[in-house]
Amino acid sequence: MKGQLLNDPVFGMAAGQFDRVADFLNLDQSVRERCKWPKRILTFSLPVHMDDGRTEVFFGYRVQHHLSRGPVKGGLRFHPNVNVGEVAALAMWMNWKCSLMGLPYGGGKGGITCDPSKLSTAEQEKLTRRFAQEITPFIGPEIDVMAPDVGTNAQHMAWILDTYSTHLGRFVPEIVTGKPIELQGSEGRIQATGHGVSFLATRALNKLGLPVQGATAIVQGYGNVGSYAVETMSAYGMKVQGVSDITGAIWNRNGLDAEKLRAHVAQTGGVAGFESAESIDPNEMLLRECDVLVPAALERVITENNAPHLRCKILAEAANGPTTQPADTIIEKRGDIFLIPDILCNAGGVTVSYFEWVQNLQRFHWTKTEVLTKLETKLEKAFESLLAFCDQHKCGTRLGALATGIKNVARVKKTRGLFP
């Protein structure tokens, strides 16, 4: 299994990052091994009756990286390229992210190999409920709490909640987060990740002595995270000049109208054809000059091929693992790009998921203002702590963020000991 995981490029990248940090922290061999490898790797076959009468078998995965600090937390994604290596890597990163943010969670991640765009709503419901039924013995509010991810949303969480609650014979809202408000979801959850990305971008601009008002930004990816990042940065007075998604890339040097862009995407299904912008090459867009570049789609989009040519002042990693290790090395050596690493930059989602879980456990509801204010407070604290760590240890923000997260997990592992 170790060899299979290491052969996956995404897990190999995550493991390489861990090894570098473990060397930096001088972790002893026992703690190092226990921190690196996931506690559980679950694989399920998921037969579904399709609308045309066929029965199709899908495959789903759930990786629980560690439960040493509390239940695992992480999203469930639907994507045609999902595999166990990718899911294991994302679970590992989630572990360090929760630790960095001071959340009482370990890292988890799930995925089903499918193309949701080719499944009807009924087929998606059957697939989601089948996955929930299969995984029920391995999850619970104190064991594993899921949330939406790529290709899933609040409705998928509602189906999981209902399936799990039906199995237990009682309503259990704290089994998932990112669910609809009427099922005790949290105010502010849907925009939490994008809001956090934008908030941290303003803090990075302040750190560099650059004005927020009029700062330019490019956003690669216009899903939940990217769309709310565009809107929040625009609300801060920044000019979002370029945006891309699977349909193409658009550009307006004077800044895109965030409200009109959302309406256009809702009507057409993508950013392509937006009348207030010109069409450009998505790869070329990443290389245009800007203050803030936000990769907000999938992994490994900043590579050794484009990293030398980036012309941003701040790289805000809204996606998980968007920068490959060779590209990371190039950016660090360049020294002219301030990196907000993914495990901090996109931590808004899991932080507000934690707030939602707490509200559910208490059967108490917070306002949107309360939620986003608490989120900004936690992000501000984590950002300042990261800067202090990097200044003390004379290291980059990637190494600093990972070292902080891994160090906390390693300390818990060592204190709890090894049983038996």
Unique residue bearing structure tokens 């790797």: 41
Domain CATH number, residue 68: 3.40.50.10860
Closest CA to 281 of 240, 323, 242: 242
Domain CATH number, residue 221: 3.40.50.720
Say if residue 136 is in the same domain as residue 64: yes
What residues in the chain have per-residue pLDDT under 50? none
Unique residue bearing structure tokens 């803090």: 203
Cα–Cα distances in angstroms (integers) from residue 128 to residues 5, 122, 125, 338, in the given order: 25, 10, 5, 40
pLDDT of residue 115: 97
DSSP character string of 262-323? HHHHHHHSSSTT-TTSEEE-HHHHTTS-EEEEEE-SSS--B-TTTGGG--EEEEE--SSS-B
Say if residue 125 is in the same domain as residue 198: no
Residues contacting residue 109 through CB under 8 Å, at least 6 positions apart: 62, 63, 74, 75, 76, 77, 87, 88, 90, 91, 94, 149
Residue 315, in any domain of the structure = yes
What pLDDT digit, counting tens, does each position of 22-70 carry? 999 999 999 999 999 999 999 999 999 999 999 999 999 999 999 999 9
Say if residue 274 is in the same domain as residue 310: yes
Residue 241 and residue 85: Cα distance in Å, rounded? 35
Residue 386, in any domain of the structure = no
Q: Which of 313, 345, 377 is the last residue of a domain?
A: 345
Say if residue 61 is in the same domain as residue 146: yes
Q: pTM score, two decimals? A: 0.94
Output the six-digit token pair for 39: 């506690």
* DSSP single-letter state for residue 350: H
Q: Which of 316, 345, 374 is the last residue of a domain?
A: 345
Which residues are catalytic, by number? 109
Say how many C-beta atoms besides its own lie within 10 A of residue 48's C-beta. 22
Say if residue 158 is in the same domain as residue 210: no
Cα–Cα distances in angstroms (integers) from residue 133 to residues 128, 159, 330, 374, in the given order: 9, 11, 45, 34
Say if residue 211 is in the same domain as residue 138: no
Say if residue 203 is in the same domain as residue 322: yes
Say if residue 121 is in the same domain as residue 244: no
Closest CA to 347 of 36, 102, 71: 102
Residue 291, in any domain of the structure = yes
Q: Which domain, by its residues, includes 247? A: 192-345
> Where does residue 156 rank: exposed (0-12), middle (13-18), buried (19+ CB within 10 A)?
buried
Say if residue 139 is in the same domain as residue 215: no
Say if residue 208 is in the same domain as residue 139: no
Domain count, the chain: 2
pLDDT of residue 419: 86
Unique residue bearing structure tokens 């949290």: 186
Q: Which of 345, 361, 383 is the last residue of a domain?
A: 345
pLDDT of residue 420: 76
Say if residue 136 is in the same domain as residue 50: yes
Say how many C-beta atoms besides its own lie within 10 A of residue 128's C-beta. 25
Say if residue 247 is in the same domain as residue 339: yes
